Amino acid sequence: MRNNRISWILLCVLAAGCGGAGTGETNAPAEQRATVAAVYREGPGPKLAKAELCTAVDEARMRPAAAPTTQFRPDDRTIFLVGKLKDVEEGVKAEVRWYLNADSEPQLVSVVEAEKNFTFLASYSPTEPQFFVGAYTVRIYVGGIELASLPFTVERGEEEKSSLSVKRVEFGTDLDAQGQIKKPSKSFRDNVFIVYSSFDVSGAEFGSALTIRWTKGDELVHQEELKVNADKRYTTELQTMAPLPRSSYVLEIKAQGAVLARGDFTVGDANKASPRVNRTDLGLGIGKDNQPKQKTSVFKKNANILFLGVMFADIPPGSTMEVSWIGVSKQGDTTHYIARSVLERGGEGTFGVTWEPKIMLEPGNYKAVVSVAGETLAEVPFKVK
């Protein structure tokens, strides 16, 4: 995950008269100074004479305006690198690459066309609200050759160090432009397909993760792993193809097996949940989730198979779902075929049933009737031509 904005480099050509102002001298005590960790080239060729990291710079004089250091805080707005190169061939590209050591790819690469001798200034800022906590390295290249590297760290202060925590859990069914819940609630109407949850995370570090568990009674409805690399408000969601069944739900947020926070909400009147069918589709052939491959409500009289897909909810465990294929006429209805299936687990899900007529169907009106325990849950009309 990248943690940067666009960095920028200023340069000052020493030979052109920047003089001592471009050397990066400060009045900071010697023990506070953070200089380059290693120089990889000796003798002829480009050399890095100096490199210092800090949190503020004097751009006019091209030098640190804060004490150079290699230890930064997550809430520092920008990390600056002030360096000096010597004996660089004109026109050669100089690069500053910023790495979070936990990631093999650079967070940011800044490029400038070098002069023979010059002082340069590069910056690195987070795109997240704060820098990730961890070990970093900034590397300086000239002409594709690494001249030096400078390690640094982003750490919390002793007073800030704490374990991962989650607070202010909220639920809703709609988000605003900033991705925040518009109207938090703990009770939602029937026919809700999605519920969002937002919560505050603190104590997050690069690589931190939360386990998000949505349950309905003893049933696990959905579980996911959520990366939390910074302290901020996060949003997750529970979404289903069919409306959420009437019931009470619990959201549990865990880290390394420990429960950090819980929240609960209800859909519809959980005490009055009753069997229902949320969707029916007729067609030819069985597709995914027991839904028809080719939906239609008109069949040819010589059709050798008719298919009905059903999405149901709040079915008591062990119930028998019955689908009756019925011809409709002025003289009265005629039941041609009845399919039955026991739903051992009940709850919500999908159900598919086929009718294979043994004779050519008479043109006219028909219907498929879905029922449980004698209660009609849906009637699906169709025609035969």
pLDDT in tens, 227-273: 888 889 999 999 988 788 888 999 999 987 889 999 999 988 756 66
Determine the Cα–Cα distance for residues 364 and 283; give it in Å rounded to an integer. Answer: 17
What is the CATH architecture assignment of 165-272?
Sandwich (2.60)
CA 253 to chain centre: 15
pLDDT at position 271 is: 62
- pTM confidence score: 0.45
CB 277 within 8 A of CB 304: no
pLDDT at position 282 is: 94
E strand or H helix at 94: strand 93-100
Q: Does pLDDT of 53 surpass 90?
A: yes
Fold of 9-154: Immunoglobulin-like (2.60.40)
The three-state secondary structure class of 124 is strand
What value, to the nearest 5°, has the Cα angle with vertex 324 and ends 334 and 343?
A: 165
Q: Does pLDDT of 280 surpass 50?
A: yes
Sorting pLDDT into bands at 50, 70 and 90, what band is 68?
very high
CB 196 within 8 A of CB 183: no
9-154 and 276-384 in the same fold: yes
- At residue 166, φ and ψ (nearest 5 deg) are -130, 130
The three-state secondary structure class of 270 is helix
What value, to the nearest 5°, has the Cα angle with vertex 375 and ends 339 and 352?
A: 35
Q: Where are the domains of the chain?
A: 9-154, 165-272, 276-384
Task: Give the torsion sign (CA, 323, 324, 329, 332).
Answer: negative
N-terminal to C-terminal alpha carbon distance within the chain: 59
CA neighbor of 353 nearest in space, from 326, 383, 321: 321
pLDDT at position 114 is: 64
Sorting pLDDT into bands at 50, 70 and 90, what band is 162?
low
CATH class of 276-384: mainly beta
